[in-house]
Amino acid sequence: MEGGSRILSSVVSSQVEVHSRYGGVVPELASRMHIEAISAVVGQALRDANIKADDITGVAATKGPGLIGALLVGFSYAKAFAYARKIPFAGVNHLEAHIYSLFLSKRRPELPFTVLVVSGGHTNIYYVDSPDRFELMGQTRDDAAGEAFDKVAKMMDLGYPGGPLIEKIAAGQPCDTIQFPRTMLEKGSFDFSFSGLKSAVGRHLHDNPVQSQNDKGKIAASFQQAVIDVLAAKLIQAARHKRCRTICVAGGVSANTSFVDHLSKNAEQYGMMCHSPPAELCGDNAAMVAARGHVMIENRQLCSLDDDVFSRGLKNT
Which one of 2, 96, 143, 167 is in contact with ligand KG4 (CB under 6 A)? 167
Q: Least separation, in Å, of the C-beta of 119 and ligand KG4? A: 3
Of these partners, Zn ion, ligand KG4, none, which one is at the site of residue 127 (CB under 5 to 8 Å by kind)?
Answer: none
**Residue 65 binding: pick among ligand KG4, Zn ion, none (C-beta 5-8 Å cut-off by kind):** none
Q: Does 65 bind ligand KG4 (CB under 6 A)?
A: no
C-alpha pair distances (Å), 247 with each of 5, 93, 119? 21, 21, 17
Tell me whether residue 88 or residue 252 sits nearer to ligand KG4 (CB atom). 252
Contact flags string 222-251 toward ligand KG4, x per CB under 6 A: -----------------------------x
Among 256, 260, 291, 309, binds ligand KG4 (CB under 6 A): 256
Of 267, 276, 265, 163, residue with least CA distance to 223 = 163
Is there a cis peptide before residue 27, judged by omega within 30 degrees of 0? no
Task: By CB under 6 A, name the one of 64, 109, 120, 217 that touches ligand KG4.
Answer: 120
Which member of 74, 91, 131, 161 binds ligand KG4 (CB under 6 A)? 161
Task: Give me the phi and psi of 180, to 5 degrees please.
Answer: -80, 155
DSSP 42: H
DSSP letter for each residue of 151-204: HHHHHTT--SSHHHHHHHHHTTS-S-SS-------STT---B--HHHHHHHHHH
164 binds, among Zn ion, ligand KG4, none (CB under 5 to 8 A by kind): ligand KG4
Q: Which of residues 262-301 bind ligand KG4 (CB under 6 A)?
A: 283-284
If the CB atoms of residues 2 and 284 are measured against ligand KG4, the closer one turns out to be 284
Q: What are residue 265's phi and psi, to 5 degrees?
A: -65, -45
Of the two residues 158 and 244, which places its CB atom closer to ligand KG4 in the complex?
A: 158
DSSP state of 12: -
Region of 51-59, 191-199, 253-261, 307-315 interacting with ligand KG4 (CB under 6 A): 253-261
Among 89, 150, 194, 244, binds ligand KG4 (CB under 6 A): 150
Which of residues 148 and 296 has its CB atom nearest to ligand KG4 in the complex? 148
Q: What is the DSSP string of 227-284?
A: HHHHHHHHHHHHHHHTT-SEEEEESGGGG-HHHHHHHHHHHHHTT-EEE---GGGSSS
DSSP state for residue 45 in the 8-state scheme: H
Q: Quick one: CA dihedral 247, 92, 283, 288, positive or negative?
A: positive
For the chain, the farthest-separated pair of C-alpha atoms sits apart, in whole angstroms, at: 62
Question: Which residues sit at the interface with ligand KG4, rule CB under 6 A?
Answer: 119-121, 146-147, 149-150, 161-164, 167, 251-253, 255-256, 283-284
